[in-house]
Amino acid sequence: MNRRPSARPEEHTLGPLNYAEVPGDGPKVMLLHGLGARWQVFAPLFAGLRGRAHLYALDFRGHGISGRTPGHYRLEDYVGDALALLDHIGEPVVVYGHSLGGWVALSLAAERPADVRGVVVAESAIYPDDIDADLAISYLADLPLALRSVAKSLRQLDPDVMVHFRDGRLIEHYDPSTLLPRVTCPVLLLQGDPRHDALMTDADVKRALGLLPKGAHVKLDGLGHGFHVEDAQRVLDLVIPFVEGL
């Protein structure tokens, strides 16, 4: 009798980094969380992708139970975390990046085009000129009861992460005008509903699609910044065809 693939992630360490893994057939998929979160925020996607892909999800430095590195919470530091996991996997991956994770995913694809097969940018403020730091993490406090424990993310967060974000150091070297044209793999922009406190704006989408060589876009009306928690099935109905079609 064939055993059904387990949806229960196993946690591993990679130097100071913590990551979760769920083996499975199909492509390698790396999931990168947003500011203030940890890998557990992707539990609904893990369940839906079970058996369809080999899944990895990282705790960025200063998040979850990965090590803290005060003074080193810039975007390039998080890209370094993702590169470490990518090198550990040793095969090309599809990257799903939420919010902060979307910036990292795009940067990873630009830096290592041969190793990133496709990117899903989920609710990232691609042009974050006026981003509200409190709004960017507010979805963690509004999770369904079954996922309420994920609010533990904020208690595990190194406060210096938010200092870097609020004073602009986190993204001081992030330039979408030069980054996006370098992302040559297919990119799916998943946008929440601005009426529900989503961060990716219509202007973000328009400007990004004008620069991405292979960009596509879907807007999830009625869902906010944490849409993979609010309605995982709607997100999976878009992500699975994208991943399997690469």
Contacts for 86 with CB less than 8 Å, ≥ 6 apart: 30, 93, 108, 112, 115, 116
Q: Which of 155-169, 202-216, 231-245 has the lowest mean pLDDT?
A: 155-169
**In the block, which residue shows the tokens 């109905």?**
237
**Quick check: 182 pLDDT over 50?**
yes
**Quick check: 100 pLDDT over 70?**
yes
DSSP state of 163: H
Mean pLDDT of the region 6-25: 91
Q: What is the pLDDT of residue 1?
A: 38
Q: What is the pLDDT of residue 152?
A: 76
Mean pLDDT of the region 213-237: 95
Q: What is the pLDDT of residue 138?
A: 62
Q: What is the average pLDDT score of the chain?
A: 90
Q: What is the pTM of this model?
A: 0.92
pLDDT band at 140 (very low <50, low <70, confident <90, very high): low
Q: What is the pLDDT of residue 144?
A: 53
Q: Which of 17-31, 123-137, 166-180 has the lowest mean pLDDT?
A: 123-137
Give the dihedral of Cα atoms 218, 64, 17, 95; nearest 10 deg. -10
Q: What is the pLDDT of residue 146?
A: 39
**Which residues lie across from 21 on neighbouring strands?**
10, 56
**Quick check: 25 pLDDT over 80?**
yes
The burial class, CB within 10 Å (0-12 / 13-18 / 19+), for 158 is middle
**Boundaries of every domain in the chain:** 12-244
Domain spanning 12-244: CATH superfamily: Alpha/Beta hydrolase fold, catalytic domain (3.40.50.1820)
CA dist 144 → 37, 141, 154, 199 (Å): 15, 9, 16, 20
**Quick check: 149 pLDDT over 60?**
no
